[in-house]
């Protein structure tokens, strides 16, 4: 079992720019030690014959084909907009650049 000292946890907190109390140092030391122990257990797994993968399960494309279909007429869609201009939605400018 690996145990982190309060000084090590305080050092990690400083590196992460976290303000922690003395009580939290004790709490986090125990919690981080438990995490390190769990990682150490995983590292002991026999993986020499395991092929590296990018995903644990095979991936399949679940997207439907992109096919044009009839939709609402532009006039009907823009009729519900707060503002429209030149057949498009008009929105407030958010950048200071000229169009």
Contact call for residues 90 and 83 (beta carbons, < 8 A): yes
Q: What is the pTM of this model?
A: 0.48
Average pLDDT over residues 13-36: 94
Indicate if the pLDDT at residue 67 is higher than 60. Answer: yes
Cα separation values, 72 from 5, 81, 93, Å? 65, 14, 27
Domain positions in the chain are 6-43
Indicate if the pLDDT at residue 57 is higher than 90. Answer: no
The CATH label, of 1.10.287, 3.40.50, 1.10.3210, 1.10.20, for the domain at 6-43 is 1.10.20
């Amino acid at each position: 079992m690996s145990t982190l000292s309060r000084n090590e946890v305080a050092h990690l907190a400083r590196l992460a720019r976290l303000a922690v109390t003395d009580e939290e140092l004790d709490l986090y030391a125990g919690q981080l030690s438990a995490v390190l122990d769990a990682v150490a257990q995983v590292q002991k797994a026999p993986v020499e014959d395991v092929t590296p993968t990018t995903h644990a399960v095979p991936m399949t494309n679940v997207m439907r084909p992109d096919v044009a279909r009839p939709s609402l007429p532009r006039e009907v869609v823009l009729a519900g907009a707060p503002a429209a201009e030149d057949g498009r939605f008009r929105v407030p400018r958010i950048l200071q650049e000229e169009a």
